[in-house]
Structure 1
Amino acid sequence: MSAGALLFLGFLGLQRLAELALARRNTARLMARGAVEHGAGHYPLIVALHAGWLAAMAVMGHDAALHFGWLGLFALLQLLRVWILASLGPRWTTRIIVIDAPLVATGPFRWLRHPNYLLVAVEIPVAPMVLGLWEVALVFGLLNAAMLAWRIRVEARALAPYRSATRA
């Protein structure tokens, strides 16, 4: 067993669990303020995709050597993650939750419409590459791209009234 791989996988697992707890708390608070969820039907597929991704890395990479170039890129992505979370604050969640309030237009949202989705689209293949798992990177990168294409369409429809109100 590789201590480096186990530390990396442990970090990923703990990070995802912490994010789920934060998302659950933020979702409950937003819903209590009158927010509405969109696209709830595809949410279990996202959870299954991410659980499968973590499981594939754990099974196939628990004894792998770390690839430090990929680990460096992964670390940079975590800085983007912190920036996104800080920019959205209590509005960050893993679901599509829409509240009657202006859209966030600070931080990376000033330049990108979906920085969190960009982060995840890059992170899903990068994390397995830290362990040299190009097969996992390819399969889950493609599955995630398909899922994000669907999710972004759902979110765009949900936010359309707020985007047009911002332009007016």
Structure 2
Amino acid sequence: MAPSAAWYLLLLALVAVERLAELVTARRHAAWSLARGGREYGRGHYPTMVALHTALLVGCAVEATYRPFLPAPGWTALALVLAAQGLRWWCVVSLGPRWNTRVIVVPDLPLVVAGPYRWLRHPNYVAVVVEGVALPLVHSAWVTALVFTAANAWLLRVRIRCEDAALDSLSGPRPSVPAGVAP
């Protein structure tokens, strides 16, 4: 295995650890939300989301074994991966205990319009899209980037509709301000 592939596998392992940290945070936040009367929506698509994001990491690892590291696109893609992680955790911090990997809406809480939610309705999904393209391209895994991006486009369509419907069910259609339900 080329040294660049070994470093890339380390990066993928770090992303996997970050995903586990997200799940721990989400579990704690879910308990907080449910204790306050939160209602979960979209349970049906959640296993697909977990499988797709797991497949992203596996696809990257497999494809890296036979693709070269190309410095110019690789370093650029790594910078995008790091920026996506920053945006993701900015979303987590901005939503506080309302952030979750599941769609759980707590009645009577106002929409969050702080942090990146000041400008975007679903900023975490910007991070997901950027990472889904960039993480594979750090090590030229373009097939994984294409397959994940196509599958993720379908999943995000389902997910965003679910979140918007969940928020609409609480208070009617929302004004055109950012949503406070996290992915």
- TM-score under structure 2 normalisation? 0.85
TM-align CA RMSD: 1.8
| Residue identity matched to 1:3 | A
Show the counterpart of 1:117.
Answer: 125
| Residue identity matched to 1:87 | S
Show the counterpart of 1:57.
Answer: 60
1:31-89 alpha-carbon deviations (Å, 9 max, x no partner):
11110000111111111111111111122225753711111111112221221111011
Give, in whole Å, the separation in 2 of the partners of 1:29 and 1:113.
23
Cα distance change of structure 1 residues 60 and 165 upon mapping to structure 2, 3 Å threshold: closer
2:116–2:123 contact (8 Å) kept in structure 1: yes
Show the counterpart of 2:92.
Answer: 85
Query: Is residue 2:33 matched to residue 1:3?
Result: no
Show the counterpart of 2:140.
Answer: 132
Taking the TM superposition and a 5 Å limit, the aligned residue runs for 1:17-166 are 17-62=20-65, 65=69, 67-100=74-107, 101-160=109-168, 161-162=170-171, 164=173
- Runs of at least 4 residues off by over 2 Å: 62-66, 161-167
| Residue identity matched to 1:82 | W
| Residue identity matched to 1:49 | L
1:85–1:92 contact (8 Å) kept in structure 2: yes
Aligned identity (percent) is 47
Cα distance change of structure 1 residues 103 and 162 upon mapping to structure 2, 3 Å threshold: farther
2:132–2:148 contact (8 Å) kept in structure 1: yes
Give, in whole Å, the separation in 2 of the partners of 1:69 and 1:143.
23
- TM-score under structure 1 normalisation? 0.92
Cα distance change of structure 1 residues 71 and 163 upon mapping to structure 2, 3 Å threshold: farther
Q: Relative to structure 2, which stretch is displaced further, 150-159 or 62-71?
A: 62-71
Aligned positions, number: 167
Greater helix fraction, Structure 1 or Structure 2: 1
Q: Relative to structure 2, which stretch is displaced further, 50-59 or 93-102?
A: 50-59
Match of 1:14 among 17, 38, 45: 17
SS at match of 2:110: coil
1:102–1:166 contact (8 Å) kept in structure 2: no
